[in-house]
Structures are given as C-alpha cells and as structure tokens.
Structure 1
Amino acid sequence: MAGDPASWRFDAIGTTWEIVTAAPLDEAARAEVGAVIEAFDRTWSRFRADSSVRALARAAGAVPAPPDAGPLLDAYAALSDATDGAVNPLVGASLERLGYDADYSLHDRLAAHGPRAAPERWRDLVRWHGGVLEVREPALVDVGALGKGRLVDLVLGVVRRAVPGDAIVDAGGDLAVRGRAQRIGLEHPFDPRRAIGVWEVTDAALCASATNRRAWPSATGTPLHHVLDARTGLPVRTIAATWATAPDAMRADAVATALFFDGGPRLAREWGVEWVRMTTDGRVEWSPGCVAELFVRGERAAPDRAGFASE
C-alpha cells in the first residue's frame, strides 16, 4: 500500500482477522465492524446457543431475517443445483454427527453413530421471504459454504466508508483487496510451510478451503474434516484444497466450496470466477485464463480448457 498503512488484528467467529487500511480506523469504525460481525454471528452461528439458527434447530418456526439472508440463501440454492445437492445448508447436523459440533469437540462419532445425510428437500423446509427466515421442521442451518465470504464483504463495506483508498480485509485467509494489487501465496494443503503458487489480486476477493484445516483423527485412521458431501454426510476424499477469485468474497467463497464437487468448475464459469484446486493425489487443476503463478511441472493450460499438472 502507498504511504504507511495501518493494521488492525483481532479474533472473531473462530478465526483471526486483519484489516489493513491506508489510515487507521477510528474507534467508531472499529465499533461498527464489531457490530456487523456480532449481528451476523448472532443470526447464523451454529456455535452459539443464542443464535437464530440454533433457535430454529430446537423448534421449527420463523425469525427475523437479516438483509443478507436473500443473497446468501439464493447463492446456496445455486450451489446446491450446481453440485447436484452435495452442498446443502442443512448440513449442520451432519457436521455435528462427525464431531464438528458447537463445543468443537472434534471427536470421531462415526463408529458409534454412522454418518447423517442432510435432507434432500431442503428448499421445502427452509424459506426466506419478506424479511423472515422460516424453517418448517427443526433443522440446523449451516452457512459455512459461503458465510465467511459474505461477512468479509459486509466488513469491507464498513471499512471502505470509513477510510478511502487501499484496503485489505483478511478473515483467516479469506480476503478482499481494494486498491493496490496484493500477491497472495496459495498454501500447500500437505505442508503449510510451502506454497503451490502465488496469485496477484487487485480489486477482488480470494477465498480458499482445504481439508487439512478443521480436521481430526478417526477410528479408521483416515482423518475426518469439515468439507462434507451433504448427500452422504461423509467428508470428501478427492479434492484437497481449492482457491477462487471473484469481485466479491461471497461468490469466491461459494465457488471454493463448489470446487470440491464435479459441478464446481461449471458454476465458476457461469459466475465468471477464476479458480485453482489440488487433488488428494497431488494434481493441480486451474480454470482457463487463470492468472495465478503456479509452481507446477509441465505446460500451462491452453486457454480453452482447464489445466492439469502433477505437483
């Protein structure tokens, strides 16, 4: 950034945030950032007993919906369609069945209870209309597929109103950049000391997801992790990590989730999102026209097809 940028680091929603701006955020702006995060968490967090989604998990009914419920759940519907139901906002109970629960117990429960698929007909059960979020049967909504990206966008809006010029909002690796280009390393999912490439991001968001994060041991010896196929209630095993860039972080986050499934590249193309992903057997794939600098052997992809290379 030009001049002497100011950095503000804090912890929220289970991750570390860093906001870098051309000038320091004043106390009023910081308080507004905190209020935006708190309001989002109070509605959507399945990790707090007083959230709206926890109330709907205990008893079906309707609660006031925040203004972002429409865009967020509309995007979820597109994700569900693109992945043939593999992404589903009612996957919360499936995650808890594996051990990724409100207490972060991260203990393998599969041996005792088996997996739990999310309800296929989730759009019959979850409605969002007229400022109301309604769940017709008790069910635990989880917006992890794109929620952090949406929150990054909301926080960026506060930051941009408070301080003109260059800005970065980074929520544990899901980030939005405005102004001067930033070079972002793509962490290797098998070795966090290494990167598989560098992506230069300008006036856009970069979001990532990986199976080595929020992972825990299982009785079978194959680790469990938080990226589930909602149709089976089991962790995905083919893709190890994904990265996506888009003008806004919610879409980048959504595509980073979709890329764990067959329909992900098609959705990315429809939304105009560039992407990179790494398979569990070490291959790196990327979208046509992707400008990331990837540290892979072999030739870059032709512009009319996705690229494949061994890492």
Structure 2
Amino acid sequence: METWRFEAIGTVWEIESEERLGVRERGAVTTAIESFDAEWSRFRADSVVSRLADGGEAPVPADAAAMLDLYRELSDATAGAVNPLAGASLAALGYDAEYSLVAGAARAAPADWTETLRWSDAALSLSAPAAIDVGALGKGRLVDLVLATLPSGGRVVVDAGGDLAVRGGSIRIALEHPYDPTRAIGVVDVGDLALCASATNRRAWGDGLHHVLDARTGIPVRTWAATWALATDAMLADAATTALFFDGGPAFADSHGIDWVRMSTDGRIQASAGFPGELFVRAP
C-alpha cells in the first residue's frame, strides 16, 4: 500500500491505495478539497459562506442540497440542537476565523434557521446576517467527494483526521479513548463503509470549551465525551456522530441503519444493538 499524507482544512489527511497516485489523481484530490473549502469554509474571507455572512444571495454550491437537507433532518431529530447557523455561536466562544480562542458570552444560534437560510437549485441565500458552519457533517461530505475522485481497483482508504471511508477492502480500526489516546475502548472492521468519530477533547480550548455546541444555547455539550458511527457514506456517518451527542441521536442513527457507539463523560458506553465491533468496556 502507498500512503499520501498532507494537510488540508485544518487536519492531516492520509490516502492509502494499492497503486501510487499520479499527478492527475493527486490534482483531482487537491481540486476537490480546494473547491469545497472555497465554498464552505467560514475561516476564509473569500469563501461563499463568508461573503454571505451579512445576508444576500449567491449561486448555490454543488453540495448545498445534500448537506442542508440532511441538516434539516438532524435539526428535527435533535429538537434544534444541531443547526448550520451555529457559526456565530462558535465564534462567540473563541473558535472564530482568527482562532482567537478567547471566549465571550455564549450565543444561541437562530432557532428559525430554515427561515433565514434558504437553498434551491439556483441559489443559496440568507435573509439576515448569520454565520453558516457545516462542521456537523461537512468533513464527512468532503471525504466522500475525495474518494469519488480516486480510481477504482484495489483497496483505497481516505482518512481525514479520523473520519474515513474504505473502498475495495477492509481495515481494522481502534476506537480511541477520548481521555487517553494511548488506549482504545474497542475495535471494528471497516469494509466498504465509512467510520467517523467526534470527541470533545478534539478542537478544545479554555475551561471546558470545545467545538460540539448545543445550538439552542451556544454552550458546549457536557453529557457525552465521544461518538462513533459506521455508515454507507462518510457524510451520513459524520452527521450521526454529531447527533449522538444529543437526545434523539440514537433514533436518528437507527433510522438510517447506522451502527454506533458513544461514551459519556463519566465513562459509560452505549452502542447500537447490531454494532459489529468489539467493545472492551461493557455497554449496558
């Protein structure tokens, strides 16, 4: 297997393939990542979402319907806890475009986000100033887009900082303990599927601040420490890992046939009934 490592969108990527990727294949990957970042990154002043922050309309990005339709489902499943207009909530706590990591007062996201944010086949629009953030499922979507650029034949693994998709084979993955990266709470074989993970010890700063917020309050979640989801594609797995931090998350995952695990901040483990891996901590 050949491994290509590089940094993009603030994380380390690894692409493993049986054949070495040439200039054309690597160029296609780079183009896919750059195009997505130029549309959806709230950390870039020239991105589509940043230019929309004061309100207005822009040509619809190619991924808008796929992502925002799923956001609507996530929002419904979690009673509004997941919301793509939580960008200002994250920025208020210091996770802003400058990475200031200086927290101010918590700020709830607009509860009526589907009235403020609209999308159609032609346009993406905001009827009022707001900060779009697709972090609940965007990295998974990008993993899927990158995988789609790669030639078929043999095993291919696209891993974006722990959110990964496997095609043409299987790999064994450890589920990293959120409080001790030298330990695992279990293992699972991932074959022609995607596995995504989210944890409150990643992208964390200050006193108990991290990137998983309840959009209804703008406050970081406190009950669950880490989540994992195994799905047919990475966007769906990524969405499930976010939903699993909230009530309604297991029902969302189960409705899509997603196997999952989550660990609470006091060490309890929950898992879907059919989770195919081995857990070293017994799930009640």
TM class by shorter chain equals: over 0.9
Are the aligned partners of 2:16 and 2:156 in contact in 1 as well (CA < 8 Å)? Answer: yes
- Could you say which residue in structure 1 is the equivalent of 2:246? 261
- Could you say which residue in structure 2 is the equivalent of 1:123? 114
- Could you say which residue in structure 2 is the equivalent of 1:304? none
Give 3-state SS (helix, strand or coil) of 1:18's partner: strand
Give 3-state SS (helix, strand or coil) of 1:28's partner: helix
* Among 58, 61, 65, the residue aligned to 2:56: 61
**Counterpart amino acid of 1:183?**
R
- Could you say which residue in structure 2 is the equivalent of 1:51? 47
The 5-angstrom pairing of residues 103-182 of structure 1 reads 103-109=98-104, 114-159=105-150, 162-182=151-171
CA–CA distance in structure 1, aligned partners of residues 109 and 27 of structure 2: 37
**Counterpart amino acid of 1:155?**
V
Instruction: Give the deviation of 1:131 after TM superposition.
Output: 2.8
Instruction: Indicate whether 1:72 and 2:67 are aligned.
Output: yes
CA–CA distance in structure 1, aligned partners of residues 89 and 230 of structure 2: 28
**Counterpart amino acid of 1:16?**
V
Are the aligned partners of 1:67 and 1:131 in contact in 2 as well (CA < 8 Å)? Answer: no
**Counterpart amino acid of 1:20?**
E
- Could you say which residue in structure 1 is the equivalent of 2:197? 208
Give 3-state SS (helix, strand or coil) of 2:82's partner: coil
Instruction: Indicate whether 1:279 and 2:264 are aligned.
Output: yes
CA–CA distance in structure 2, aligned partners of residues 139 and 153 of structure 1: 27
**Counterpart amino acid of 1:76?**
Y
CA–CA distance in structure 2, aligned partners of residues 25 and 128 of structure 1: 36
* Among 231, 236, 245, the residue aligned to 2:230: 245
- Could you say which residue in structure 2 is the equivalent of 1:193? 182
Are the aligned partners of 1:258 and 1:264 in contact in 2 as well (CA < 8 Å)? Answer: yes
Are the aligned partners of 1:238 and 1:260 in contact in 2 as well (CA < 8 Å)? Answer: yes
Give 3-state SS (helix, strand or coil) of 1:104's partner: coil
* Among 275, 279, 282, the residue aligned to 1:294: 279
Instruction: Give the deviation of 1:163 after TM superposition.
Output: 4.5
* Among 5, 11, 17, the residue aligned to 2:13: 17
TM-score normalised by L of structure 2: 0.98
Give the alignment's Cα RMSD to 1 decimal: 0.9
Instruction: Give the deviation of 1:103 after TM superposition.
Output: 1.5
Are the aligned partners of 1:149 and 1:207 in contact in 2 as well (CA < 8 Å)? Answer: yes
CA–CA distance in structure 2, aligned partners of residues 263 and 30 of structure 1: 39
**Counterpart amino acid of 1:231?**
R
* Among 81, 93, 100, the residue aligned to 1:98: 93
CA deviations over 1:205-244 (Å, ceiling 9, x no partner): 00000000111123xxxx1111000000000000000000
CA–CA distance in structure 1, aligned partners of residues 58 and 91 of structure 2: 23
**Counterpart amino acid of 2:185?**
I
Are the aligned partners of 2:153 and 2:168 in contact in 1 as well (CA < 8 Å)? Answer: no
CA–CA distance in structure 1, aligned partners of residues 195 and 96 of structure 2: 27
**Counterpart amino acid of 1:117?**
A
Are the aligned partners of 2:84 and 2:134 in contact in 1 as well (CA < 8 Å)? Answer: yes
CA–CA distance in structure 2, aligned partners of residues 67 and 226 of structure 1: 26
Give 3-state SS (helix, strand or coil) of 1:277's partner: strand
CA–CA distance in structure 2, aligned partners of residues 25 and 53 of structure 1: 32
How many residues align? The count is 284
TM-score normalised by L of structure 1: 0.90
Give 3-state SS (helix, strand or coil) of 1:269's partner: helix
CA deviations over 1:233-284 (Å, ceiling 9, x no partner): 0000000000000010000000000000010000001111000000001001
Give 3-state SS (helix, strand or coil) of 1:81's partner: helix
